[in-house]
Structure 1
Amino acid sequence: MSNEKQGLPVGHDAGRGAYVLAATCDLNGCFRGKRVEAASLDKILKNGIRMPMSSIGVDIWGTDVFANSLTLDQGDLDGICEPTERGPIPLAWTATRAQFVPMWMRAETGEPFFGDPRRTLADILNRFRAVQLTPVVATEVEFYLIDPKSPRAKPLTQMPVGHADAKDTIYSLEELAEVGPFLDDVYAMAAACGVAVDAATSESGPSQFEFNLVHGPDALRVADDTVFFKQIVRNMARKHGFAATFMAKPYPAHSGSGLHVHFSIVDAQGRNVFDNGGPEGTVLMRQAVAGLIDAMPDCTALFAPHLNSFRRLCPDSLAPTTAAWGYENRTAAIRIPGGPAVARRIEHRVAGIDANPYLVVAAILGAAIDGITRRAEPPMPTAGNTYASDAKSLPATWLAALDLFEQSAIVKRIFQPKLIEMFSTCKRQELAVFNRDISDLEYASYLHSV
């Protein structure tokens, strides 16, 4: 099998690594897999590896979720992890030469396993193919660089005492220059892995950065790239002596980190079906917006899948709290950017960077095609401050978001039952652990005072 067919850079030898890491992406966006000797690469590419299906649904700590039907009721069956069409990439976790083989899971019977988030996105994309439409997708990845030795988030850039916002960091060329060698290595590793990266910017938080990934007509590859890119950033940060965090809100007083998704849709002739020659976009675009607005509260659990996620979704933060849309309005959850009509697109601004990119893109595209299929009508666009509008509120807590997700008829139209079951049971288990914990603040407040 040629390097070109395997998706490797020209001239790269996939077999020269000292070992091979083969892994799937679980519901939390974490890699789960095995290390094997490099001599077994061909065998893995041909036959895949066996792993318990339940391994994709473990909680954030890697603990089995016993409430789903796989672990106990079905005897913890194995699935078959097959190489994706991407093939091996040089995404090593250490200085030792290695290859990473991204996998996705199917059942032993050969059927797709829809507990796998990548299979879920592929299922959504099949619905677009059935009507000869193709989403063109791009992502924006935000993160903080932090001191790896601190138990709490501590920025590389120290803020002046007494004034947390005294240093202007947004779009700061100085802050980009301070981590220039790190950025160079991120670009180099991304290129080696076939991940197309565009601009890097300094964001408003201390040591916060954003990368724009290049848009493309293969949404599955774009989601792959986003998952790989997060690991590239982690690896390169470690190499340079610091760490990268993808928490949605690591600092109470500073900006959260989002995973914004831009998309348009092209028809069989390659024409952007959102483009009507003007700034307002087509009827079909508004139908897609309507689908996104309708599904947004019920899908918030996917866009904000952790306890910390909801610290980001707060008023007056440029992170949305309502299911509103508008033209060139960054307070809105759905923004229609300006620019040339031929590039008319939708920006979805709800997800935090802590969310699973496969599930985020699947929820967005699934809601869009649902709105188009139903010929749904959106509410009026909001021109001003959406935090003060009468748009429907997003759930404000993790529990409320999970309740909506589980009860939603829209979610059941978009997702397969296995994905809904596995995601819900995973998140319920995580929530129960946090609910049992007694924080330092609780002890400080109550231990000697009540």
Structure 2
Amino acid sequence: MSDRGMQEAREFLERNPDINSIDLMIGDINGVIRGKRIPRDSLLKAYEEGVCLPASLFALDINGNTIEETGLGLDQGEGDRLCFPVPGTLSRVPWQDRPCAQLLMSMYENDHSPFVYDPRHVLQRVLDRFSTLGLTPVVAVETEFYVIDRERDDEHQLQPPVSPVSGKRDRQCQVYSLSDLDDYCDFLESIQQSAMTQNLPVDTAIAECAPGQFEINLKHRPDAMQACDEAVLLKRLIKGVAARHSMEATFMAKPYNQEAGSGTHIHVSLIDSEGNNRFCSHDDNPLGNDLLQQAVAGVLALMPESMVVFAPNANSYRRFQPGFYVPMSQTWGADNRTVAVRIPGGNPAARRLEHRVAGADVNPYLLVASILAGIHHGLTHRLSAPEPVTGNAYASHPPSLPNSWIQALDQWQSNEILPEYLGQEFCRVYHANRYGERQLFMRHVSSQEYDWYLRSV
């Protein structure tokens, strides 16, 4: 580990003499945090020598089952790899009663080369492509989520929490409602304070269009890896703070049948070595310049190939329904929230693209890697974007993206461009992992099937 890392650890321990344990965390292929807990006396050793975790961590499905078809389990003897800290991510965990800390890790081979199945290294592989162009992606992450009651309703279904202010259970909500923010001000203030403790650049909080649904935005970063690290840490923070307030927070893409799903929107611009936004046009064109339109063209071109990243599990595809502002076709336009890639209005100096397809259940590293792969592909091949959409894209463009888990998995198998960016071997393991989870999912009979078919067929 670098001197910077060791100095960071020593200074943290000096500033926090009450800390007695540290959670070492690593995100798996699904974005689920895994890891181990160590005593404070072992922190410096973790920085200097790393810690061992099994390579099969990246073979786990959403329930922690090892998908043996990945080849990372029994076939390779359940062997360990080295994990080293991610500098800048060591912080206190303010929502816990006991004094503890947390630290992100990343996995490496025993010779210290990157472990190619770790999503952080997958993203780095794509970022290296931009270094050769002399360009740096600037990334901001917006994530939607629901807070729900710990108790289920009389039919054992999810329900919104009781408002801490009114004492009533919300049944409706208005988007951008300030009164809804007031109802949950203590919860949202706790998120803000915890984010400050952990140096997470939380920007704005928005009440979305369903009871108990919110969006938390992170400020943009000229370091895409850092932006993704912060997105992962924010998700853990929100869940922890919600539990502290006697609620649950969920990032399921579609937790309610009749309410909007939750998405992850990614904003991207490119700056050169002098810090200039290369997407900004001199004529203030709301669609940006030629470079931005080439980037849009590449993102749209790779969108079908990337769909199983944007929607990684069975529930993900429940979100893609008309009327809920979820793009279902390869569309783009200026300041239009019905399209897949939106060019936000505002200050031309901040011109960027906004990717609006993915769900809140996405792995941020893989999402950003796929989007940046599309941008790089568009730039290097000077692709031409289709005609931008004005008005309602849902009315003018029928669904064209894969809209089921199996369609997206089949598309992944036939991908030609994305594997060159993410790595052929990673793509093989990712397919095996997602396909294996689907096989397990399909073995279960749902209560809906009993309701519809048990007596009728």
Class of the TM-score when normalised by the shorter of the 2 chains: over 0.9
57, 61, 64: which one pairs with 2:63? Answer: 61
Task: Provide the rounded CA distance (Å) in 1 between the counterparts of 2:79 and 2:326.
Answer: 40
353, 358, 362: which one pairs with 1:351? Answer: 358
Shift of 1:76: 2.5
Task: Provide the rounded CA distance (Å) in 2 between the counterparts of 1:407 and 1:146.
Answer: 39
Task: Provide the rounded CA distance (Å) in 2 between the counterparts of 1:325 and 1:8.
Answer: 49
- Unmatched 5+ stretches in structure 1: 159-163
* Residue of structure 1 in register with 2:377 after alignment: 370
* Residue of structure 2 in register with 1:112 after alignment: 114
Change (3 A) 1:3 1:326: same
| Residues 40-59 of structure 1: per-residue CA shift (max 9 Å, x gap) | 11111111111111112300
* Residue of structure 2 in register with 1:122 after alignment: 124
Task: Provide the rounded CA distance (Å) in 2 between the counterparts of 1:400 and 1:12.
Answer: 53
Task: Provide the rounded CA distance (Å) in 2 between the counterparts of 1:129 and 1:8.
Answer: 32
* Residue of structure 2 in register with 1:83 after alignment: 85
Aligned length: 445
* Residue of structure 1 in register with 2:391 after alignment: 384
Task: Provide the rounded CA distance (Å) in 2 between the counterparts of 1:43 and 1:307.
Answer: 41
Shift of 1:410: 1.7
Task: Provide the rounded CA distance (Å) in 2 between the counterparts of 1:165 and 1:324.
Answer: 35
| Residues 260-301 of structure 1: per-residue CA shift (max 9 Å, x gap) | 000100011111110112123111111110110000011010
Contact 2:91–2:101 (8 Å) recurs in 1: yes
Task: Provide the rounded CA distance (Å) in 2 between the counterparts of 1:4 and 1:286.
Answer: 44
SS at match of 1:405: helix
175, 182, 189: which one pairs with 1:184? Answer: 189
Task: Provide the rounded CA distance (Å) in 1 between the counterparts of 2:157 and 2:227.
Answer: 31
- Structure 1 residue 413 corresponds to structure 2 residue 420: yes
| Residues 201-229 of structure 1: per-residue CA shift (max 9 Å, x gap) | 11101011111100010111110110000
Q: After the TM superposition, which of the residue ranges 133-142 and 84-93 deviates more from structure 2?
A: 84-93
- Unmatched 5+ stretches in structure 2: 164-168
Task: Provide the rounded CA distance (Å) in 1 between the counterparts of 2:420 and 2:54.
Answer: 27
235, 254, 259: which one pairs with 2:259? Answer: 254
- Structure 1 residue 171 corresponds to structure 2 residue 176: yes
Contact 2:139–2:266 (8 Å) recurs in 1: yes
Q: After the TM superposition, which of the residue ranges 344-353 and 4-13 deviates more from structure 2?
A: 4-13
* Residue of structure 2 in register with 1:212 after alignment: 217
Contact 1:259–1:351 (8 Å) recurs in 2: yes
Task: Provide the rounded CA distance (Å) in 2 between the counterparts of 1:7 and 1:139.
Answer: 28
- Structure 1 residue 201 corresponds to structure 2 residue 203: no
Contact 1:19–1:37 (8 Å) recurs in 2: yes
* Residue of structure 2 in register with 1:273 after alignment: 278
Task: Provide the rounded CA distance (Å) in 2 between the counterparts of 1:290 and 1:184.
Answer: 40
Contact 1:135–1:266 (8 Å) recurs in 2: yes
Shift of 1:144: 0.6
Contact 2:173–2:180 (8 Å) recurs in 1: no
Shift of 1:13: 2.5
1:213-362 maps to which residues of 2 (within 5 A)?
A: 213-277=218-282, 278=284, 279-362=286-369
Change (3 A) 1:7 1:356: farther
26, 43, 53: which one pairs with 1:24? Answer: 26
Shift of 1:88: 1.5
- Structure 1 residue 429 corresponds to structure 2 residue 400: no
Task: Provide the rounded CA distance (Å) in 1 between the counterparts of 2:12 and 2:220.
Answer: 22
Shift of 1:92: 6.2
**Aligned amino acid, residue 127 of structure 2:** L
SS at match of 1:41: helix
Task: Provide the rounded CA distance (Å) in 2 between the counterparts of 1:95 and 1:165.
Answer: 29
Task: Provide the rounded CA distance (Å) in 1 between the counterparts of 2:265 and 2:185.
Answer: 24
Contact 1:324–1:391 (8 Å) recurs in 2: no
Shift of 1:87: 4.2
| Residues 313-369 of structure 1: per-residue CA shift (max 9 Å, x gap) | 222321110011111111100001111211110000011111011111111111111
SS at match of 1:367: helix
Task: Provide the rounded CA distance (Å) in 2 between the counterparts of 1:384 and 1:85.
Answer: 45
- Structure 1 residue 137 corresponds to structure 2 residue 139: yes
* Residue of structure 1 in register with 2:410 after alignment: 403
SS at match of 1:419: helix
Contact 2:144–2:360 (8 Å) recurs in 1: yes
**Aligned amino acid, residue 71 of structure 2:** S
Shift of 1:34: 0.8
Shift of 1:7: 9.2
Task: Provide the rounded CA distance (Å) in 1 between the counterparts of 2:149 and 2:170.
Answer: 19
| Residues 137-182 of structure 1: per-residue CA shift (max 9 Å, x gap) | 1011111110112253211258xxxxx9974421111111111111
100, 103, 115: which one pairs with 2:102? Answer: 100
Tell me the TM-score normalized by structure 1: 0.94
RMSD: 2.2
Contact 2:9–2:43 (8 Å) recurs in 1: no
Task: Provide the rounded CA distance (Å) in 1 between the counterparts of 2:42 and 2:241.
Answer: 27
Contact 1:113–1:119 (8 Å) recurs in 2: yes
* Residue of structure 2 in register with 1:161 after alignment: none
Shift of 1:86: 2.1
Shift of 1:234: 0.3
Task: Provide the rounded CA distance (Å) in 1 between the counterparts of 2:351 and 2:287.
Answer: 9
Change (3 A) 1:11 1:175: farther
Contact 1:48–1:80 (8 Å) recurs in 2: yes
Task: Provide the rounded CA distance (Å) in 2 between the counterparts of 1:343 and 1:11.
Answer: 39
Task: Provide the rounded CA distance (Å) in 2 between the counterparts of 1:114 and 1:173.
Answer: 45
Contact 1:8–1:89 (8 Å) recurs in 2: no
